[in-house]
C-alpha cells in the first residue's frame, strides 16, 4: 500500500520478502479452517510456544491458530516464531548491500509487525473483497477497473494523473531513520526473464525519474522494484524508494502528507 504496502513491500511487500510490498494484493485466508499448522518455535527460550502466540502477553495466548495466521509460508512462520528482542534491524549499509546484490527477498518485517500485517490483510480482504481492491479504491483513489489506463502516452509524462507516491503501509524492519516510500504508477514497465526483472532501458528510465523527482544527495537514497514473481500486488505497477534520514517536509511534499496505515490502524492488541 503504500503496502504494499510489494508490500519489496503491501508491500514491497514482495511475499517472499516477507516482505509483501505493502499490504498483499492477493493475500487471502480461510477463516473457516481451524486446523492448527505446525507450531514449533525456532527459539528454545520460547519453550516451544506456538508461533501465533510469540510476542503476545500470556493472557492473549490462544490454543488454536487465528484465521489470519493460518496457511503461512514456512518463512513467515519462522519470522513469527522469533521474539522481537532477537530481531536484527536492517541498517542503511545493510539496505544498500541487499539492493546492490538485488536481493529484495532478504527484507523482512519485525515479527510483531508481520503479525499485525497479516491481521490487517485478513480484515481488509473480508471488508473489500481483496487487498488490491482496497489499495485501488481507498489508498490510490483510482477506482476498481483494471487494467488501469494511463493518461500519458509515455511513462511519467503525466505525473499528476498517472503517478502516486505513498508511505509503505507495512514497511520492513529498518533503522527508524529510513523512510520507505512506494511509487504507484498506472503504466507498465518493461520486464524480461523468468523472474520478471526490469529491462536495462526500464531501469534507466526509472532511475532518471527518481533522481530528478526526489533530489536527495548521493548515498542517501536507493530504489528497487521487486521481481514480478515476488510482487504481491501484480495488477498495479509499483516500485520502492528508501530514503535515509530525509527532511520531513520533503517526505510530506512527495506524499501529500500521507501517514502509513501501520501508524493509524487499531488491531485490538
C-beta of residue 170 within 8 angstroms of C-beta of residue 21: no
Q: Residue-wise pLDDT tens for the chain (269 aa)?
A: 444 444 333 333 333 334 444 433 334 344 444 456 666 444 445 568 999 999 999 999 999 999 999 999 999 999 999 999 999 999 999 999 999 998 988 999 999 999 999 999 999 999 999 989 999 999 999 998 888 999 999 999 999 999 999 999 999 999 999 999 999 999 999 998 877 889 999 999 999 999 999 989 889 999 999 876 655 556 899 999 999 999 999 999 999 999 999 888 764 43
Give the number of domains in the chain.
1
Q: Confirm whether 77 is domain-assigned.
A: yes
Q: Confirm whether 31 is domain-assigned.
A: no
Q: Confirm whether 3 is domain-assigned.
A: no
If DSSP codes are grouped into helix, strand and coil, which group holds residue 198? strand
The pLDDT value given to residue 229: 60
If DSSP codes are grouped into helix, strand and coil, which group holds residue 59? helix
The verdict on pTM exceeding 0.75 is yes
Q: Confirm whether 22 is domain-assigned.
A: no
Question: In which domain, by residue range, is 56 found?
Answer: 44-257
Q: Confirm whether 245 is domain-assigned.
A: yes
CA distance linking residue 24 with residue 210, whole number of Å: 24
C-beta of residue 41 within 8 angstroms of C-beta of residue 50: yes
Q: What is the DSSP letter of 32?
A: T
Torsion sign (Cα): 192, 196, 200, 201: positive
Q: Confirm whether 25 is domain-assigned.
A: no
Beta-sheet pairing, 178-185 with 238-244: antiparallel
Q: Which residues contact 50 (CB under 8 A, 6 or more apart)?
A: 36, 39, 40, 41, 65
C-beta of residue 232 within 8 angstroms of C-beta of residue 4: yes
Q: Confirm whether 39 is domain-assigned.
A: no
Q: Confirm whether 24 is domain-assigned.
A: no
The three grid cell numbers given for residue 220, joined into one nine-digit string: 542517501
Amino acid at each position: 500500500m503504500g503496502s504494499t504496502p510489494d508490500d519489496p513491500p503491501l508491500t514491497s511487500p514482495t511475499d517472499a520478502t516477507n516482505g509483501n510490498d505493502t499490504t498483499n494484493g492477493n493475500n487471502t485466508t480461510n477463516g473457516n479452517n481451524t486446523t492448527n499448522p505446525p507450531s514449533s518455535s525456532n527459539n528454545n527460550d520460547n519453550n516451544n510456544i506456538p508461533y501465533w502466540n510469540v510476542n503476545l502477553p500470556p493472557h492473549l495466548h490462544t490454543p488454536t491458530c487465528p484465521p489470519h495466521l493460518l496457511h503461512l509460508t514456512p518463512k513467515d512462520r519462522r519470522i513469527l516464531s522469533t521474539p522481537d528482542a532477537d530481531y536484527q534491524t536492517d541498517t542503511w549499509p545493510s539496505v544498500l548491500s541487499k539492493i546492490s546484490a538485488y536481493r529484495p527477498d532478504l527484507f523482512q518485517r519485525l515479527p510483531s509487525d508481520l503479525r499485525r500485517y497479516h491481521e490487517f490483510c485478513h480484515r481488509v480482504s473480508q471488508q473489500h473483497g481483496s487487498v488490491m481492491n482496497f489499495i485501488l479504491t481507498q489508498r490510490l483513489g483510482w477506482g476498481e477497473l483494471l487494467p488501469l489506463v494511463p493518461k500519458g502516452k509515455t511513462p511519467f509524462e503525466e505525473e499528476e494523473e498517472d503517478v502516486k507516491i505513498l508511505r509503505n503501509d507495512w514497511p520492513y524492519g529498518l533503522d527508524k531513520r529510513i523512510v520507505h516510500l512506494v511509487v504507484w504508477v498506472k503504466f507498465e514497465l518493461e520486464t524480461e526473464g523468468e523472474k520478471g526483472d526490469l529491462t536495462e532501458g526500464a531501469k534507466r528510465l526509472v532511475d532518471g525519474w527518481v533522481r530528478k523527482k526526489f533530489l536527495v544527495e548521493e548515498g542517501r537514497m536507493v530504489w528497487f522494484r521487486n521481481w514480478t514473481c515476488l510482487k504481491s500486488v501484480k495488477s498495479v505497477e509499483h516500485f520502492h524508494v528508501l530514503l535515509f534520514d530525509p527532511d520531513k517536509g520533503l517526505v510530506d511534499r512527495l506524499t501529500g502528507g500521507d501517514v502509513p496505515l501501520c501508524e493509524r490502524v487499531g488491531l485490538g492488541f
